[in-house]
A and B are shown apart, each in its own frame.
Chain A
Amino acid sequence: MFDLDRWREIFQSINKNRLRSVMSGFTVAFAILLFTLLFGIVSGLSNTFKGAFVDDAQNAMFIRVWKTSKPYKGLQTGRRIQLKNKDYNYVTEEYANKIQYQSARIYKNFAIKYKSNASNYRVMAVNPDHQFLEKTMIDEGRYMNERDLNEAAKVIVIGRLIKKDLFGERPALGKRVNVNGSSYLIIGVFSDDGGDNEERKAYIPLTTAQRMYGNNDYVSQIALGYNPNLSLTEAVTFGNRLERDLRNKLNIHPDDQSALSVRNMAEANKGIGQFMGILYAIVIIVGSGTLVAGIIGISNIMIFVIKERTKEFGIRKALGAKPLSIVSMVVQESVLITTLAGYLGLSLGTYILSLIGNSLEEKYFIKDPSVSPSIVIVATLVLILSGLIAAYVPAKKAANIKPIEALRAD
């Protein structure tokens, strides 16, 4: 396949006929540039939307309770609903196969004090699974475990910024802090993508909070991670069933959104998925349109180029060129130009996208736009293939006309 002489012929032909080479190259480069920018911008939009939900796990569901807004079974409006351990366990038992993670939550606001430094922080009492639901990333030490729960241990996992507030650059792990008057052992330090507020939180074992603050079995909220094998639709159905079930169990009107509600990430994801799907569909249509325009462009140029070269082909044939050698010369030239030009357009596009970076995030919701390698590869292949076909069809035709007719051309 690699024939140095053939390539020499091709390079000479490209080099000595710069205008037509540049013209055909430009069409392709431009098409690919547009294609890349388009895809990049949509991926940037998509990044923004996805980014809005990085705080929690993609499969998270939260069961929240408040006061009733509808009378039901003789019970009055305004009744305060309280979740308890038995509700938590009911969910565990009833829906075991639909649940990946489960954690209760109790919210507290406590002063945390280390030596002379003290400040108020949100302290959340949770189960070990909570780490995955909240996407808590452990920087040092560890998260709480079942044993801490069983022992109602006075241990605490603090956010990166709490550590910074109280300890500065000094180590915090293994130190004791004073939380609302009692002493807790710091077993871990975490960070979280959800922003500064998330990193000014601290986590303690659920059982510890229940024992220390109220000595009851109340929980404020139940957080779940549904089984990732569920489809979005199944997950939405699961959420709705769970909501109905719990309302029934707690004597709440079936439609009382205020008293008990399940916030389901699956619903949000479904919405985003649909939105992004539409966006991508538009982009695929417009993007393919751009590519097709590029392909038509290069086909036209190729037809023109080959027509212009018909006489040259006639001369070559009179000198002993076989039709195949003419076809492959033209095809290789075209493929070379489309590949190089395509690559150029792609590089330029990628470069522009990298320049854009996050600068358009504020105004246009475009964050870190980029094209995925697979799209790049597919687009490049499409181009090479189209360069091949665009050249092959007319070249084959030109190579098969009788040399005498070719010589008579122009």
Chain B
Amino acid sequence: MIKIEKLHKSYPIGKDSLHVLKGIDLHIKEGEFVSIMGSSGSGKSTLLNIVGLLDVHDEGNYFLNGQLIKNMNEKKAALLRNKFLGFIFQSFNLISYKTALENVALPLYYKGISRKERLKTALDYLEKVGLKDWANHLPNELSGGQKQRVAIARALVTKPKVVLADEPTGALDSTTTDSVMDLLKDINNEGMTVFVITHEEEVAEQTKRVVRLKDGLIISDEITAVGKSKAV
């Protein structure tokens, strides 16, 4: 599903440039549940953003669903994001003036789906994350955990192949963290590829594979206990 070869990325800082990813090789197959760990500043988000086509890499190859991502214009990237990818952010990134339901329905609008069908599908997904009764509330009327579940529903509503989550539980307490992780597990069990950044061991333990980053390089890549038990 995701294949990365010798990926490099630098950020220009004034005249210098900050070399963040220094040759990443990573292969994630369809249906995997992978977490990335590493200290702050190790390049986790940078990697995820490149995978999510929100940013571009400098060197190396990136294949998404077998397609080489190179010199991609915004229009094509938008199409691919809409078709293959679902995002979950640490800060939720809901549109403040839209209700939970409208937020969830928005990706379907960009898919060109009729309004009636959009709202129906969006409501189904809100139900799935247990927020059907909150459909007509604005984001600022929801708790952090509820917002993140709305964001998850929004990430799932287009039935993406890959769900990318950048510290989805970073802003949540432990109970809500568990409910969010349960949702991610459910998604994975339905066959979606889930790629999640975290710095919490408890979270990483619940995924099937942990990739550890340090200073822009992968220092370990292991199947977790959960991964081993689910395999075979």
Taking beta carbons and an 8 Å cutoff, which residues of A are in contact with B? 4-5, 8-9, 12-13, 16-17, 311-312, 314-325, 399-400, 402-404, 407
Contact = CB atoms under 8 A, between A and B. Distances in A.
B95 A321 contact: no
Contacts of A315: 93-95
B54 A404 contact: yes
A312 B79 contact: no
B10 to A, nearest CB: 15
18 contacts: A8-B115, A9-B109, A12-B97, A12-B98, A12-B102, A315-B93, A318-B81, A318-B87, A318-B93, A320-B79, A320-B107, A320-B110, A322-B78, A324-B75, A325-B110, A400-B74, A402-B54, A407-B89
B115 A319 contact: no
Contact of B115 (A5, A13, A320, A321): A5
Interface of B: 49, 52, 54-56, 74-75, 78-79, 81-83, 87, 89, 93-95, 97-98, 102, 106-107, 109-111, 115, 154, 158
Contact of B78 (A5, A311, A320): A320
A16 B97 contact: yes
- Closest 3 pairs between A and B when the two form their complex, measured CB to CB: A320-B82, A16-B97, A320-B110
Contacts of B74: 317, 322-323, 399-400
A403 B54 contact: yes
Given A320-B81, A403-B54, 8 more contacts: A13-B97, A316-B106, A319-B154, A320-B82, A320-B111, A324-B75, A402-B54, A407-B93
A317 B78 contact: yes
Contact of A321 (B49, B55, B98, B110): B110
A312 B96 CA distance: 9
Main secondary structure of the interface of B (DSSP, over half): helix
Among B109, B111, B115, chain A packs the most CB atoms within 10 A around the CB of B109
Nearest to B86: A319
A48 B117 CA distance: 64
B55 to A, nearest CB: 4
Contacts of B49: 404
Contacts of A324: 75
A317 B158 CA distance: 14
A312 B95 contact: yes
Contacts of B109: 5, 9
A376 B194 CA distance: 59
Contact of A407 (B54, B81, B83): B54
Contacts of A325: 110
Contacts of B102: 12
A353 B158 CA distance: 56
Contacts of B81: 317-320
Contacts of A314: 93
Contacts of B82: 319-320
A122 to B, nearest CB: 77
A177 to B, nearest CB: 82
Contacts of B111: 320
A399 B74 CA distance: 9
A318 B110 contact: no
A311 B98 CA distance: 14
A358 to B, nearest CB: 49
A319 B107 contact: yes
B54 A318 contact: yes
A321 B78 contact: yes
B110 A17 contact: no
A308 to B, nearest CB: 11
A319 B54 contact: no
B115 A323 contact: no
Contacts of B106: 316, 319
Contacts of A5: 109, 115
Nearest to B113: A5
Nearest to B84: A320
Nearest to A402: B55
Contacts of A317: 74, 78, 81
A8 B118 CA distance: 14
Contacts of B87: 318-319
Contacts of B97: 12-13, 16-17
B55 A323 contact: no
A317 B110 CA distance: 9
Given A12-B97, A400-B74, A407-B89, A318 B79 contact: no
A177 B82 CA distance: 95
A322 B94 CA distance: 18
A402 B74 CA distance: 8
The residue among B75, B81, B95, B97 with the most chain A CB atoms within 10 A of its own CB is B95
Nearest to B52: A318
Contacts of A400: 74
